Amino acid sequence: MPRRQRTNPPVLKRFGQHFLHDAATLQGIADAVAPIAGETVIEIGPGRGALTELLARRSERLVAVEIDRELSMKLEERYADDAHVLIVEGDVLDADLALLAEGPFVVAGNVPYYITTPILFHVLQPPYPRHAVFLVQQEVADRIASPPGSRTYGALSVNVQAIADAEIVRRVPPSAFRPPPKVDSAVIRITPKRAGLITAEEVRPFRSFVQAAFGMRRKQLLNVIRAVRAVSAADAVSVLEREGIDPSARPETITPAQFASLMRATSDRAT
């Protein structure tokens, strides 16, 4: 395999990167990744390579995907003599992670805050990693891990939790970065379920259904189902009662499992 691969990156720009330098946080991320024998670690956005160094020591094989050409070239030079480290220059959203991994894998990375959700959804598609450990904006981590009924529970919570379990590993202050961001951050570990609530074929329609429902989060579920599925009030009430859901409930109180059931129960009623 070539020492360096490209994934046809677009014209690159500097995106206001914040580089993690705090040793305790870096070690905490590496500990949370914890690769096992036979696994490849895929690192997203290695930047200057502070986390890369720790992951390279602990992994049998490491693939680091970096969109910044200058940083990518520096990493390539740094690991030129390490046969188990592969630097890939390009956008991770254009990369086939399973193809890069060549087998079982885990994912890690300091994810750019402006593109966190697309990266999460890109990673959470079959074949899944054993787990993914991300450093993200604290607000996003809270939303991902929020339970139904909480203030931060929303479409992102449901879409992730339908597929995976989410655990906030540690909080990270702005001082852990250079330059420091204006917001707090958190390390979150996302572990795909052995048996998710939705199938691979249902992922896209499920996300669309959930997103539409939370677009009307202040409305009662009866009206949400009527609007999203274009069904009669009688049909909507019938479905909700059969699923054991109060028609006056609101989307933020509905569990991921209930959303999955509602999607299936109403799919054949949509016009």
239-263 confidence digits (pLDDT tens):
999 999 999 999 999 999 999 999 9
Phi, psi (degrees; rounded to nearest 5) at 10:
-75, 180
Between residues 180 and 17, which one has the greater pLDDT? 180
Q: State which of 192, 210, 234 marks the end of a domain.
A: 192
Q: How far apart are CA 147 and CA 142, in angstroms?
A: 10
Asked if 130 and 23 sit in the same domain, the reply is yes
Domain boundary among the residues 139, 172, 192 is at 192
Which of the listed residues 162, 192, 222 is the one where a domain comes to its end? 192
* 268, pLDDT greater than 90: no
pLDDT in tens, 199-211: 999 999 999 999 9
pLDDT tens string 42-59: 999 999 999 999 999 999
Statement: residue 41 has pLDDT above 60: yes
Query: pLDDT tens for residues 129-175?
Result: 999 999 999 999 999 999 999 999 999 999 999 999 999 999 999 99
The range of the structural domain enclosing residue 44 comes to 4-192
Residue 19: beta bridge partners?
178
User: Rounded mean pLDDT of the chain?
Assistant: 92
> Could you give the number of structural domains in the chain?
2
Residue 256 and residue 238 in one domain? yes
Q: Are 177 and 229 in a shared domain?
A: no
Indicate whether 152 and 43 sit together in one domain. yes
Q: What is the pLDDT of residue 12?
A: 42
What pLDDT is stored for residue 46 in this prediction? 97
* One domain for residues 160 and 224: no
Predicted local distance difference test score (pLDDT) of residue 270? 53
Q: How many other C-beta atoms can be found within 10 angstroms of the C-beta atom of residue 78?
A: 16
* CA max distance for the chain: 68
pLDDT per residue as tens digits for the range 182-192: 999 999 999 99
Mean pLDDT for the stretch of residues 217-229: 94
User: Any residues with CB less than 8 A from the CB of 101 and at least 6 apart, and which?
Assistant: 40, 42, 63, 129
- Please indicate, yes or no, whether residues 183 and 263 belong to a single structural domain of this protein: no
Residues 98 and 148 in one domain: yes
More confident residue, 7 or 111: 111
- Based on the domain organization, do 90 and 22 belong to the same domain? yes
Answer yes or no: is pLDDT of 15 > 60. Answer: no
The C-alpha atoms of residue 257 and residue 255 are separated, in whole angstroms, by 5
